[in-house]
């Protein structure tokens, strides 16, 4: 049977980085990945792109919402036809996996005795968790449904702050296993040995619906811009978005950009899309369009294109 793992975690916690580290630690295994992103264009997919990897990308919504649930079921059925050892499902950062039991039940009808649901791994951002947990029901749902919580970015917080994060996690799901991580320097043997499942999937509704689906927009530009101007632009719009990510070309080089709250990270990269591209997941609905347009004209001033 194919071992099936669900990977959850809020926006920017490090799910794709975890998968990249995991793949390096399982070089002899045949692995499939289902990658789910809210935006129209995949940003995380190219990071993992490999000839040795079987990957299906599902964009523009959550796989637990009616907008993509059937596509998710079809993707699982397609993966079942391949000769694989593991399938990892990376859900979007705002995913609520509460209805995973319903989805697995449907897949099991068409492909019985193919998948062994091995558990859910939740990646937690130690730096931003306390800010996020107070007003995001989906993050709480992710922890409720988790069997392991890997608290990432521990190098960026104090021990006192870390203990506070862990205390809140345990108060939500007392039975899960806690692990600490800095750049995922963890023992990955739990993947092959198996996870002690503390969350028993039940038939219940997900918070992800068409009605509360967040607004996403995409900004693209052709000519390289000064990195300092781009940073000022990102600072100006960061509080209006849950997450900003993409690949950009600046006068100083090519970068993968990741913005969570007020934290802006640049990582040098050779991977690029056809144009420099940033995807915004809005906190403020359609108003994000005006905020982004105004900030770009003020801080950067070059030609760009906005699209849904």
d(CA 242, CA 109): 37
Tens digit of each residue's pLDDT (9 = 90 or more) over 42-93 = 666 666 666 678 999 998 889 998 889 999 999 999 999 999 999 999 999 8
What's the pTM value of the predicted model, to 2 decimals? 0.86
Mapped onto helix, strand or coil, the DSSP state of residue 301 is: coil
| Class of CATH domain 2-193 | alpha beta
d(CA 288, CA 295): 11
CB atoms within 10 A of CB 202: 11
CB neighbour list of residue 161: distance below 8 Å, 6 or more residues apart:
126, 130
CB neighbour list of residue 232: distance below 8 Å, 6 or more residues apart:
299
pLDDT of residue 49: 64
209 and 46 in contact (C-beta within 8 Å)? no
- Check the CA dihedral 13-16-21-22 and report its sign: positive
Residue with tokens 């090519």: 254
Check whether domain 216-307 has CATH 3.30.1220.10, yes or no: yes
pLDDT band at 273 (very low <50, low <70, confident <90, very high): confident
Going from N- to C-terminal start, the domains of the chain cover 2-193, 216-307
123-to-91, 151, 285, 290 alpha-carbon distances in Å: 11, 6, 26, 32
């Amino acid at each position: 049977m194919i071992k099936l793992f669900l990977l959850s975690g809020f926006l920017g916690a490090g799910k794709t980085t975890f998968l990249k580290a995991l793949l390096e630690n399982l070089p002899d295994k045949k692995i499939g990945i289902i990658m789910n992103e809210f935006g129209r264009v995949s940003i995380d997919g190219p990071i993992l792109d490999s000839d040795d990897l079987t990957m299906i990308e599902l964009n523009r919504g959550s796989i637990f919402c009616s907008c993509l649930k059937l596509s998710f079921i079809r993707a699982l059925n397609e993966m079942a036809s391949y000769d694989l050892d593991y399938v990892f499902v990376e859900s979007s950062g705002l995913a609520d996996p509460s209805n995973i039991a319903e989805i697995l039940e449907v897949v099991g009808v068409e492909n019985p005795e193919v998948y062994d649901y091995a558990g859910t791994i939740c990646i937690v951002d130690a730096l931003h968790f306390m800010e996020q947990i107070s007003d995001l029901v989906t993050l709480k749902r992710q922890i409720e449904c988790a069997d392991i919580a890997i608290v990432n970015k521990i190098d960026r917080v104090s021990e006192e702050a870390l203990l506070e994060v862990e205390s809140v996690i345990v108060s939500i799901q007392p039975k899960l296993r806690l692990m600490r991580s800095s750049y995922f320097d963890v023992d990955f043997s739990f993947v092959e040995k198996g996870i002690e499942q503390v969350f028993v999937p039940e038939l219940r509704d997900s918070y992800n619906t068409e009605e509360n689906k967040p607004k996403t927009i995409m900004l693209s530009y052709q000519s390289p811009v000064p990195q300092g101007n781009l940073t000022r632009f990102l600072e100006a719009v960061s509080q209006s978005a849950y997450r900003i990510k993409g690949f950009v070309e600046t006068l100083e080089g090519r970068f993968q950009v990741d913005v969570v709250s007020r934290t802006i990270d640049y990582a040098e990269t050779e991977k690029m899309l056809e144009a420099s591209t940033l995807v915004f997941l809005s906190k403020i609905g359609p108003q994000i369009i005006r905020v982004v347009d105004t900030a770009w004209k003020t801080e950067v001033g070059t030609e760009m294109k906005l699209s849904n």
